[in-house]
Amino acid sequence: MSSINIKDIAKLAGVGVSTVSRVINNHPDVKKETRVKIQDIIEKNNYIPNNSARNLKMLASNNIGIIVKGSFNPFFSKIVERIERSISNENYLLTLHYNSSCEKDDSEILIEQIKEKRLNGVIYLGGNFDNKSNNYLKLLNIPLVIASANISDDVDKSGFSSVGIDNIDSAFKAVDYLCKMGHKNIGLLSSGFSDSNNRNLRTFGYEKALLKNGISINIDYYRDGYYTFESGYEMAKDLLNKNSEITAIFSTSDIIAVGAAKYILSTNRQIPNDVSIIGFDGLEYGEFFHPSISTVAQPIEEIADNAVELLFRQINDMESLNEHIKLKTNLIIRDSIASVN
Amino acid sequence: MSSINIKDIAKLAGVGVSTVSRVINNHPDVKKETRVKIQDIIEKNNYIPNNSARNLKMLASNNIGIIVKGSFNPFFSKIVERIERSISNENYLLTLHYNSSCEKDDSEILIEQIKEKRLNGVIYLGGNFDNKSNNYLKLLNIPLVIASANISDDVDKSGFSSVGIDNIDSAFKAVDYLCKMGHKNIGLLSSGFSDSNNRNLRTFGYEKALLKNGISINIDYYRDGYYTFESGYEMAKDLLNKNSEITAIFSTSDIIAVGAAKYILSTNRQIPNDVSIIGFDGLEYGEFFHPSISTVAQPIEEIADNAVELLFRQINDMESLNEHIKLKTNLIIRDSIASVN
DNA sequence: CTGAAAGCGCTTACAG
DNA sequence: CTGAAAGCGCTTACAG
């Protein structure tokens, strides 16, 4: 790529590089004639400014970054889409970075991005934040909002804002509903260690609901797997084969719920008549399964909107206080739950 | 972010910046003692080099870029994951860029990325390439592989390699199978204009199969929508309400097929007894729907592997010839197709 | 094994 | 409205 640069354009146009730079950046102080001529030459030569050089020189950039942990989760995709829209309304540019699990530490990526792109602020989606990450975080002194992430209780939350849901309460509502429908033997399928904080919190909500309804906890009803259809299928198979008395399943994600439902229907059991099932997240998978799967819907738009609002509050006033918001989830009952006796 | 830079580190360590740079980049020519001391100082101060500056200075980078068009398609996600793995085996770094539809022209992004990251090569996933894009492409003279994209016939294919599938033949196989099962009234649901080339090619395959089986084409059976469950649902509703004689549906994507299937089951029709259905892509949605939806599976691993191989062939030998590969798809018959009288 | 210096391609006061 | 010059934070010959 021995390509054309700003100096070449300046020479071709017979002007100084500053003038070319002004045209590129839409500064007003350029004679119309000159501007048009330069734009023409830029176009003809397919000149594209080198962003590394720009970033190096510019102090801020009107760039805000989104870093998404756990690459291909449709739940995050929806949040990102929504954020994208509101950010560009504010005349900010978005830098998206997906980091697959195999890459370096979350926080290190964050810092690299901040330096490289001169980010004005960052929204971090997903991932796990413990005290170690937090040591990095403190050094950041840049507006930061962490959304839908697992933040350990021991983390000092003074350096960033956050938005999430109340996992315990959400799981509680779902399982309490199952109990109210008369279910006593309720299986728990969860997405396991990669998501351990969510898992633990939702499991706690499940247990709370059972206890409140006078049902004792049975460890044999717990299964840990992955965030895939396949895993849901396999967990349901193992769970139901070993515990045929189970009449309902609570799953910590819709994807797992769909996999489980598929297994149930494959064995000629009926949903909800033989087994009731409820998922978590509120993704379309569940709605378009047949029968439609009930779920605890996360307020995706609200999560996105709050994240953006908290971020801009900090960008516009560095002294503004951090805030940590827990949003309400929405229990959506569809066709996958029946009452028992 | 008034943060620490290489000069500060050098000063703290009492050495020159070149030595620090050597340590950062793992150059061998540094006394072990010095190296350790510098590494120590780097760590203590949480110094992270500024990538913009590095990129500006370095000629190449062992970076290869993947640009994904049409942001959140699970089909592309799978390809990316696979590519990611093989690339890192070769000791190359990956730069991922998702560009949402609202952003600038495909090719312009490509060029920006190449300059900014000093990319050694690019794999472009999805999108539409016509002659206009190709004008840019020619300027690139960097190894480029376009995968799973719509490349217009009039594009001069000498500047890049490509890997894709035979859309016409794949659609033909699916619809021919439906015909062989005795279906004569076969609806066509497609993902519409945003994907026009795929749509046109697959439609052509559909028509070819009908013709071969002596079935005349009926424009009333065509529906154009979007790449969503919802759209599949709505298209099926409209199609079947207006054409109750239809016994089978071919959809240009699994997502649309699932939406359509959901509509069919919601009206107490049965799949496959009342309506047969087949999708396209080979995603898990269809497999985990109940009943499992038949599909034309794209060879995802092969697409990824071929893209990587073609790219490295060019990286290692700029004079190597470009190649344009069409991979075979795989007709997967599951539980969604029944024969008709 | 090490350091001083040039330069990557830009932007931005500053002076006109 | 315009240009010459400094400098962003690095890397890389070059000279020692």
How does pLDDT run across A247-259, given as a tens digit for each residue? 999 999 999 999 9
Contacts of B1 in chain A (CB under 8 A): 114-115, 118, 140-142
Predicted confidence (pLDDT) at residue B325 exceeds the cutoff of 70: yes
CATH number of B6-49: 1.10.260.40
> According to CATH, where is 3.40.50.2300 located in chain A?
63-165+300-327, 167-298
Question: Which positions 19-78 of B are in contact with A (Cβ < 8 Å)?
Answer: 46, 48, 50-53, 55-56, 71-72, 74, 77
On the 0-12 / 13-18 / 19+ scale of CB atoms within 10 A, A88 is middle
**Record: contact B1-A112, CB cut-off 8 A:** no
Predicted confidence (pLDDT) at residue A182 exceeds the cutoff of 90: yes
Percent of chain A with pLDDT over 70: 90
DSSP A25: T
Q: In the predicted model, what is the mean pLDDT of chain A?
A: 87
Contacts of A46 in chain B (CB under 8 A): 111, 136, 139
- CB B76, CB B125: distance < 8 Å: yes
Q: Are strands A128-129 and A93-99 parallel, antiparallel or unpaired?
A: unpaired
The partner residue sitting opposite A288, judged by closest CB among B48, B139, B262, is B262
Q: In the predicted model, what is the mean pLDDT of chain B?
A: 87
Distance separating alpha carbons of residues B93 and B78, to the nearest angstrom: 18
Per-residue pLDDT tens over the stretch A126-167: 877 776 666 666 666 788 899 998 887 788 888 889 999 999
Across chain A, how many H-helices and E-strands are there? 13, 14
Contacts of B112 in chain A (CB under 8 A): 48, 51
Q: How far is the CA of A31 from the C1' of D5 (A)?
A: 23
pLDDT of B113: 72
- CB A127, CB A149: distance < 8 Å: yes
The partner residue sitting opposite B288, judged by closest CB among A84, A258, A284, is A258
Distance separating alpha carbons of residues A57 and A188, to the nearest angstrom: 54
Minimal C-alpha gap between A55 and chain B (Å): 6
Calculate mean pLDDT across residues A310-316: 88
Report the predicted TM-score, pTM, of the whole model to 2 decimal places.
0.86
The partner residue sitting opposite A56, judged by closest CB among B53, B100, B261, is B53
Q: Which residue of B has its CA nearest to A85?
A: B102
Residue B81 corresponds to which tokens in the numbers above?
């994951």
Predicted confidence (pLDDT) at residue A59 exceeds the cutoff of 80: no
Sign of CA dihedral A51, A56, A60, A66: positive
pLDDT of B323: 94
Predicted confidence (pLDDT) at residue A54 exceeds the cutoff of 70: yes
Phi, psi at A321, each rounded to 5°: -75, 145
Minimal C-alpha gap between A110 and chain B (Å): 11
**Record: contact B111-A71, CB cut-off 8 A:** no
Q: How far is the CA of B89 from the C1' of D13 (A)?
A: 31
How is the beta sheet containing A276-281 ordered, strand by strand? A222-224, A186-190, A248-251, A276-281, A294-297, A330-332
Q: How far is the CA of A22 from the C1' of D11 (A)?
A: 29
Chains A–B, number of C-beta pairs less than 8 Å apart: 119
The partner residue sitting opposite B1, judged by closest CB among A77, A142, A228, is A142
Calculate mean pLDDT across residues A161-177: 96
- Give CA B43 to chain center in angstroms: 39
Question: Which positions 134-153 of B are in contact with A (Cβ < 8 Å)?
Answer: 136, 139-142
Question: Which positions 180-199 of A are in contact with B (Cβ < 8 Å)?
Answer: none
B208 touches chain A (CB under 8 A): no
B310 touches chain A (CB under 8 A): no
User: C1' nearest to CA of B10: which nucleotide?
Assistant: C3
Minimal C-alpha gap between A144 and chain B (Å): 13
Pick the range with the lowest mean pLDDT from A73-82, A278-287, B168-177, B278-287.
A73-82
Rounded (5°) CA angle A228-A233-A237: 150
Q: How far is the CA of A19 from the C1' of D1 (A)?
A: 9
Pick the range with the lowest mean pLDDT from A16-25, A108-117, B161-170.
A108-117
* Residue of higher predicted confidence among A316 and B272: B272
pLDDT of A139: 62
The partner residue sitting opposite A265, judged by closest CB among B114, B258, B290, is B290
In total, chain B counts a number of residues equal to 341
**Record: contact A229-B288, CB cut-off 8 A:** yes
Calculate mean pLDDT across residues B261-265: 98
Place of tokens 């061998």: B28
For the beta carbon of residue A140, count every other beta carbon within 10 angstroms. Answer: 17
* Residue of higher predicted confidence among A107 and B240: B240
B340 touches chain A (CB under 8 A): no
pLDDT of B193: 67
Contacts of A84 in chain B (CB under 8 A): 100, 102
pLDDT of B318: 72
pLDDT of A140: 66
pLDDT of A167: 94
Minimal C-alpha gap between A329 and chain B (Å): 23
Phi, psi at A317, each rounded to 5°: -150, 95
Predicted confidence (pLDDT) at residue B293 exceeds the cutoff of 90: yes
* Residue of higher predicted confidence among B217 and B140: B217
Residue B316 corresponds to which tokens in the numbers above?
């290692």
Residue B261 corresponds to which tokens in the numbers above?
């299937």
DSSP string, B258-324: HHHHHHHHHTT--TTTT-EEEEEE--HHHHHSSSPPEEEE--HHHHHHHHHHHHHHHHH-TTSPP-E
For residues A143-156, b (16+ Cβ closer than 10 Å) or e, as one string? Answer: bbbbbbbbbeeebe
* Residue of higher predicted confidence among A76 and B60: A76
- Confidence band for B326, pLDDT divided at 50, 70 and 90: very high
- Confidence band for A1, pLDDT divided at 50, 70 and 90: very low
Residue closest to sugar C1' of D7 by CA: A57
Per-residue pLDDT tens over the stretch B111-146: 777 777 778 888 988 877 776 666 666 666 788 899
**Record: contact A289-B262, CB cut-off 8 A:** yes
- Give CA A140 to chain center in angstroms: 21
Residue closest to sugar C1' of D3 by CA: A16
> What is the rounded (10 degree) CA torsion for A285, B232, B201, B243?
150
Distance separating alpha carbons of residues B114 and A175, to the nearest angstrom: 52
Q: How far is the CA of B10 from the C1' of D11 (A)?
A: 15
Calculate mean pLDDT across residues A205-209: 97
The partner residue sitting opposite A48, judged by closest CB among B52, B111, B261, is B111
Assigned architecture for domain B167-298: 3-Layer(aba) Sandwich (3.40)
Calculate mean pLDDT across residues A209-221: 97
Predicted confidence (pLDDT) at residue A107 exceeds the cutoff of 70: no
H/E stretch holding B99 reads strand B93-99
**Record: contact B72-A81, CB cut-off 8 A:** yes
Calculate mean pLDDT across residues B242-271: 97
B230 touches chain A (CB under 8 A): yes
pLDDT of A102: 47
Q: Domain spanning B63-165+300-327: which superfamily?
A: Response regulator (3.40.50.2300)
Q: A210: which strand partners? A: none
Per-residue pLDDT tens over the stretch B11-32: 898 998 999 999 988 888 888 8
B235 touches chain A (CB under 8 A): no
**Record: contact A289-B290, CB cut-off 8 A:** yes
Q: How far is the CA of B56 from the C1' of C6 (A)?
A: 14
The closest of B9, B15, B88, B14 to B48, measured between CA atoms, is: B9
- Confidence band for B217, pLDDT divided at 50, 70 and 90: very high
* Residue of higher predicted confidence among B145 and A4: B145
Predicted confidence (pLDDT) at residue B108 exceeds the cutoff of 60: yes
- CB A62, CB A287: distance < 8 Å: no
* Residue of higher predicted confidence among B62 and B5: B5
Per-residue pLDDT tens over the stretch B46-105: 888 888 888 887 766 677 888 887 656 788 888 988 898 888 777 777 777 776 554 556
pLDDT of B131: 67
Query: What are the C-alpha distances in Å from A37 to residues A4, A26, A28, A40, B218?
Result: 17, 14, 15, 5, 55
User: C1' nearest to CA of B3: which nucleotide?
Assistant: D9
